Amino acid sequence: MCGCGGGRHLPGEPTPYDVGRAELATGRRTLLKAGGGLAFSTAALSAGAGSAEAATTRKRVYVLVVDGCMPEEVSGGQLPNLFDLMVSGKRFAKAQSLPIMETIPNHVMMMTGVRPDRSGVPANSIYDRRAKAIRELDRASDLRADTIIERLNRRGLRTGTVLSKEYLYGVFGPRATARWEPAPIIPVSGHAPDEFTINAAMAMVEDLDPHLMFVNLGDIDRYGHTDFTGPLGVKAARRLALAKTDLYVKRFVDLLKSRGLWKHSMLIVLADHSMDWSTTNRVVSLTAPIEEDPVLRGKVVIADNGGADLLYWTGPDSGKEEAVRRMLRIARNQPGVLSAHDRRKTSLRLGPGAGEVVAFCRAGWRFSDPDPRTSNPIPGNHGHPATIPIPFFINGGHPAVPRFAASQLVAQTVDVAPTVAKFFGLRGGPRGGWDGTARL
Residues that bind Zn ion (CB under 5 A): 67-68, 103, 221, 272
Peptide bond into 184 cis (omega under 30): yes
- Give, for 61, the enclosing helix (H) or strand (E): strand 60-66
Least gap, CB of 67 to Zn ion (angstroms)? 4
C-alpha 336 chain-centroid distance: 25
Least gap, CB of 380 to Zn ion (angstroms)? 11
- Residue closer to Zn ion by CB (options 65, 330) is 65
Peptide bond into 388 cis (omega under 30): no
Pairing between β-strand 357-361 and β-strand 380-381 as defined by DSSP bridges: unpaired
Least gap, CB of 125 to Zn ion (angstroms)? 13
- Residue closer to Zn ion by CB (options 272, 276) is 272
DSSP 307-335: SEEEEEE-S-GGGHHHHHHHHHHHHHHST
Least gap, CB of 103 to Zn ion (angstroms)? 3
- Residue closer to Zn ion by CB (options 272, 309) is 272
Residues 327 and 357 sit within 8 Å (Cβ to Cβ): yes
Least gap, CB of 163 to Zn ion (angstroms)? 11
- Residue closer to Zn ion by CB (options 38, 108) is 108
Least gap, CB of 68 to Zn ion (angstroms)? 5
Give the CA diameter of the chain.
67
Crossing angle of the two packed helices 236-258 and 194-207, in degrees rounded to 10? 10
Helices vs strands, H then E, count in the chain: 14, 20
Q: Is the dihedral of CA 229, 232, 236, 241 positive or negative?
A: positive
Least gap, CB of 189 to Zn ion (angstroms)? 12
- Residue closer to Zn ion by CB (options 68, 391) is 68
- Residue closer to Zn ion by CB (options 221, 304) is 221
Least gap, CB of 109 to Zn ion (angstroms)? 12
State the number of CA atoms in the 13 A half-sphere of 185 facing the CB.
19
Residues 172 and 111 sit within 8 Å (Cβ to Cβ): yes
Phi, psi angles (nearest 5°) of residue 315: -80, -170
- Residue closer to Zn ion by CB (options 67, 219) is 67
Q: Which residue is nearest to Zn ion (CB)?
A: 103
- Residue closer to Zn ion by CB (options 67, 309) is 67
Peptide bond into 370 cis (omega under 30): yes
